[in-house]
Structure 1
Amino acid sequence: MGVPIYSISDLARELDITTRAIRFYEEQGMLSPERRGQERIYSPRDKVALKLILRGKRLGFSLAECKELIDLYEPSSGNRKQLETVLAKIGQRRAQLEQQLLDIQHMQLELDTAEERCHAAMAATT
């Protein structure tokens, strides 16, 4: 039995995304299906790339970062470079989120202070 192939509708159904999204990722150079006339034929590598894109999006990675990870996909090497890069990006993303959390907490304190001042000013006028 040969290497499995997928149509665009197969991938869309299996990964629960739209065919339009798949075509967009193709336009971005992130997928490279073969063509048989007008039909796109996707390989297992394309399916893995789509999974990486979807996972990367869930983790907050940019499309450029997802493309970088796809370009590093090399199963024959055990994907070590790709995995190291993912770990580094996870660390960066975690640091960004921690900073955003601190910024949100600071903003909440500012809102609390402003709210208290408004209540105090209102109480003073009654």
Structure 2
Amino acid sequence: MDDLFTITELADELSITTRTIRFYEEQGLLSPGRLGSTRVYTLRDRARLSLIMRGKRLGFSIRDIQEYLELYDADPKHQKQTGALLAKARARIVELEEQMDSLKLTLCELRAIERTAAEALGEDMESDAGQTCRDD
């Protein structure tokens, strides 16, 4: 049973809950075997779960991850999978850069509010006196 894992072993190894693993099973991303009433996972299942967790950490949807895994199974040379991954990664980069720009603007505006409120209360603040907020 060196190449088989229980749900608890897999959850512990990946620092996730057994409920998380069951959720991915319900979504059709994992299909464990059974030894009696015990779910057992193969090295392939462990690799798939690692890919799923990485995809979630990078902000990909369950559907994106499912498409990626299906391509992996269907394309032994992984050309389609790699092309799809590249396209999804580029789209995610653009999305995150837009979010970062928006966060920078929000922080700038909040700092301006903070300065104004602190001045109104007579608090002394180290300031970025000339800083203006731009949406560019």
Task: Specify the TM-score bucket, using the shorter chain as the normaliser.
Answer: 0.7 to 0.9
Q: Displacement of 1:113 after TM fit?
A: 4.1
Q: Displacement of 1:76 after TM fit?
A: 6.7
Matched residue, 1:103: 102
Contact 1:52 1:69 in 2 (8 A): no
Matched residue, 2:11: 12
Is residue 22 from structure 1 mapped to residue 21 from structure 2 by the alignment? yes
SS of aligned partner of 1:72: helix
Q: Which runs of 5+ in 1 are unaligned?
A: none
Give the counterpart letter for 1:67 in structure 2. Answer: Q
Is residue 58 from structure 1 mapped to residue 44 from structure 2 by the alignment? no
Q: 1:112 to 1:76 in 2, by over 3 A?
A: closer
Percentage identity across aligned positions? Answer: 43
Contact 2:71 2:81 in 1 (8 A): yes
- Higher relative helix content: 1
Matched residue, 1:87: 86
Give the counterpart letter for 1:15 in structure 2. Answer: L
SS of aligned partner of 1:31: coil
Cα distance in 2 for partners of 1:119, 1:7 equals 57
Matched residue, 2:126: none
Cα distance in 2 for partners of 1:24, 1:75 equals 23
TM-score normalised according to structure 2 size? 0.73
Q: 1:120 to 1:75 in 2, by over 3 A?
A: same
Aligned residues: 122
Cα offsets for 1:50-81 (capped at 9, x unmatched): 01111111111122222222222238713222
Q: Which runs of 5+ in 2 are unaligned?
A: 123-136
